């Protein structure tokens, strides 16, 4: 991991410049080429449907699937669930209940205001008609992502939830993923992934229905596909690789801090793992643990590359500067492991999820606490939020005017329309007043 010591304001400015470069949307030639290749995939699926999905599944996943094999049958899902041990199923069930309980707490309600003259204004809140959930596969399998996307959609009342996930080399999906889909309440499950699955959800094919909104994490190709189909459907976000920032001081247990860096680094080689400490001694203690324990990780190759290329040990000049940096970086996950973690956390404005204190590993948010692990990345926590049930709902305004209210506000309506030069708008008001 690179070590960066902030010695003065010039060094601080240089660090911020480098951090901004890391978080900038991909403008490299490689990123541009990737976008164009994904654009071709999306267009092929839009025009060719199932045939294109089958072709790209064979090309990218190495699995030959006829369209009639895209969807898992109820019998296949039940058979997959039977291969998951009961204790694991029970753990998934307990996590699901926590997630459901959390997301039930922040649902907006429809409302109306009726006036004495009979006029009514209000909002009608309801679910989108359908949602598509993307669950990654490949390097790892994520039953937790199944729960984190499908359960909020269920809480929101979405009637049709379509899940897609890449097939393994034997043409199936992981039993834990299938079991979680059944438990959470997916309407249909398809063994397709990649950009072709996103395009299928956006535009529909002969076998895969189009949806109103697509959520769920994926690799750079999936993210690019989501960006390209946005507008035809809504998406949750254009999420980047996983991120963690650990705030540390002399009180921090170096093993706990290193454990959080490892937990993000094992996701993939592009995970961003940062530690911000208020002394070189604390940073050195964490660095020593990272060096000693990294080789023992099962996914040491992936984690090592992430830490080498995107890991950084930052030494701030003060605890206040460390907090300011955390707010500037706006990380996906923020682990607060300082002497007074509650006081430190109270100063955080920008983070996807804040884990407070030494006994709160990021993993509790990833799996079981209840808040969603679909979080803003790439500094988007400055202006966006974690996925919630509200993201699967929409608002329709409701307006009913009486003649009395229209007459009372008619002159103002006409003036405002004329101010904008929209004569027909004004006439739509005066015509009613002249007839009544």
pLDDT tens profile 306-342: 999 999 999 999 999 999 999 999 999 999 999 999 9
Report pLDDT for 171.
Answer: 85
Report pLDDT for 28.
Answer: 64
- Would you tell me how many other CB atoms lie within 10 Å of the CB of residue 301? 11
Average pLDDT over every residue of 33-53: 95
Q: Residue 181 domain-assigned? A: yes
Please check the confidence at residue 373 and state whether its pLDDT lies above 60: yes
Please check the confidence at residue 81 and state whether its pLDDT lies above 80: yes
Active site residue 425: no
Average pLDDT over every residue of 67-95: 96
Same domain, 201 and 317: no
Same domain, 255 and 154: no
Q: Residue 42 domain-assigned? A: no
Same domain, 146 and 214: yes
Please check the confidence at residue 436 and state whether its pLDDT lies above 80: no
Report pLDDT for 170.
Answer: 82
Structure tokens at 259: 């454990």
Tell me the percentage of the chain whose pLDDT exceeds 70.
98
Could you give the C-alpha distances from 365 to 102, 258, 333, 340, 396, in angstroms and in order? 12, 18, 9, 21, 33
> Quick check: 57 and 65 in contact, CB under 8 A?
yes
Q: Residue 331 domain-assigned? A: yes
Same domain, 372 and 245: yes
pLDDT per position as a tens digit, 195-207:
999 999 999 999 9
Using CA atoms, how far apart are residues 15 and 5, in angstroms rounded to an integer?
9
Catalytic entry in 103, 267, 333, 373: 333
Number of domains in the chain: 3
As a whole number, the mean pLDDT across the chain is 95
Q: What CATH code is carried by the domain that includes residue 62?
A: 3.40.50.1980
Please check the confidence at residue 27 and state whether its pLDDT lies above 60: no
Same domain, 269 and 212: no
Using CA atoms, how far apart are residues 197 and 228, in angstroms rounded to an integer?
13
Residue position matching structure tokens 């993993």:
363
Using CA atoms, how far apart are residues 419 and 424, in angstroms rounded to an integer?
12
Residue 361 φ then ψ, to 5° = -65, 155
Beta bridge partners of 315: 5, 277
Q: Collapsing DSSP states into helix, strand and coil, what is residue 247?
A: strand
Q: Output the DSSP codes for 80-132.
A: HHHTS-HHHHHHHHHHHHHHHHHHGGG----EEEE-TTS-EEEEEEEE-SEEE
Same domain, 95 and 192: yes
Average pLDDT over every residue of 102-108: 93
Same domain, 364 and 427: no
Average pLDDT over every residue of 399-408: 96
Using CA atoms, how far apart are residues 313 and 246, in angstroms rounded to an integer?
10
Same domain, 220 and 272: no
Last residue of a domain, which of 184, 213, 235?
Answer: 235
Residue position matching structure tokens 């991909």:
26
Please check the confidence at residue 138 and state whether its pLDDT lies above 70: no
> Quick check: 132 and 213 in contact, CB under 8 A?
yes
Residue 421 φ then ψ, to 5° = 70, 25
Domain that holds residue 108: 49-235
| Among 50, 161, 101, residue whose Cα is nearest residue 371 | 101
Q: Residue 426 domain-assigned? A: yes
User: pLDDT confidence of 215, banded at 50, 70, 90?
Assistant: very high
Average pLDDT over every residue of 116-124: 97
Q: Residue 137 domain-assigned? A: yes
Cα radius of gyration rounded to whole Å, the chain: 25
- Torsional class of 28: left (φ above 0), alpha (ψ -120 to 50), beta (otherwise): beta
Active site residue 333: yes
Same domain, 223 and 286: no
54-81: buried (b, 16+ CB within 10 Å) or exposed (e) per residue? bbbbeebbebebebebbbbeeebbeebb
Same domain, 135 and 266: no
Beta bridge partners of 397: 123
User: pLDDT confidence of 25, banded at 50, 70, 90?
Assistant: low
Report pLDDT for 357.
Answer: 97
pLDDT per position as a tens digit, 228-254:
999 999 999 888 889 999 999 999 999
Q: Residue 425 domain-assigned? A: yes
Structure tokens at 8: 């003065």
Residue 4 φ then ψ, to 5° = -130, 120
Same domain, 147 and 284: no
Q: Residue 392 domain-assigned? A: no
Q: Residue 33 domain-assigned? A: no
Last residue of a domain, which of 235, 264, 298?
Answer: 235
Q: Output the DSSP codes for 319-330.
A: HHHHHHHHHHH-
Last residue of a domain, which of 182, 215, 235?
Answer: 235
Catalytic entry in 234, 260, 266, 332: 332
Report pLDDT for 139.
Answer: 61
Using CA atoms, how far apart are residues 189 and 126, in angstroms rounded to an integer?
24
Please check the confidence at residue 290 and state whether its pLDDT lies above 80: yes
Same domain, 85 and 186: yes
């Amino acid at each position: 991991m690179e070590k960066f010591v902030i010695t003065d304001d010039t060094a601080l400015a240089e660090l911020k410049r480098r951090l901004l470069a890391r978080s900038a949307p991909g403008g490299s030639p490689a990123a541009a080429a990737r976008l164009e290749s994904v654009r071709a995939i999306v267009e092929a699926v839009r025009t060719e449907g199932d045939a294109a999905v089958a072709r790209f599944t064979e090309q990218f996943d190495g699995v030959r699937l006829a369209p009639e094999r895209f969807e898992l049958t109820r019998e296949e899902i039940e058979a997959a669930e039977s291969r998951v041990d009961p204790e694991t199923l029970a753990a998934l069930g307990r996590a699901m209940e926590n997630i459901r309980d959390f997301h039930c707490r922040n649902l907006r309600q429809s409302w109306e205001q009726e006036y004495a003259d009979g006029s009514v204004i209000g909002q009608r809140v309801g679910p989108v008609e359908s949602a598509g959930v993307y669950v990654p596969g490949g390097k790892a399998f994520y039953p937790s992502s199944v729960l984190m996307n499908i359960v909020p959609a269920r809480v929101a009342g979405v009637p049709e939830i379509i899940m897609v996930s890449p097939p393994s080399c034997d043409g199936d999906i992981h039993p834990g993923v299938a079991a979680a889909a059944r438990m959470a309440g997916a309407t249909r499950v398809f063994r397709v992934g990649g950009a072709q699955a996103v395009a299928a959800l956006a535009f529909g094919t002969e076998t895969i229905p189009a949806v109103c909104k697509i959520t769920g994490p994926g690799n750079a190709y999936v993210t690019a596909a989501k960006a390209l189909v946005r507008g035809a459907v809504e998406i949750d976000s254009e999420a980047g690789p996983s991120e963690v920032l650990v705030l540390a001081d002399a009180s921090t247990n170096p093993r706990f801090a290193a454990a959080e860096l490892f937990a993000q680094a094992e996701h993939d080689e592009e995970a961003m793992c940062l530690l911000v400490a208020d002394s070189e001694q604390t940073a050195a203690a964490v660095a020593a643990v990272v060096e000693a324990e990294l080789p023992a990780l099962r996914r040491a190759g992936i984690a090592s590359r992430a830490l080498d290329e995107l890991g950084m040990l930052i030494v701030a000049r003060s605890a206040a500067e460390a907090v300011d940096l955390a707010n500037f970086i706006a990380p996906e996950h923020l682990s607060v492991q300082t002497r007074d973690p509650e006081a430190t956390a109270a100063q955080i404005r920008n983070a996807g999820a804040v884990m407070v204190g030494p006994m709160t590993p990021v993993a509790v948010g990833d799996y079981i606490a209840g808040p969603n692990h679909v979080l803003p990345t790439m500094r988007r926590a400055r202006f966006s939020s974690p996925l919630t049930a509200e993201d699967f709902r929409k608002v329709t305004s409701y307006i009913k005017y009486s003649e009395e209210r229209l007459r009372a506000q008619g002159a103002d309506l006409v003036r405002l329309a004329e101010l904008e030069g929209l004569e027909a708008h004004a006439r739509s008001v005066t015509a009613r007043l002249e007839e009544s």
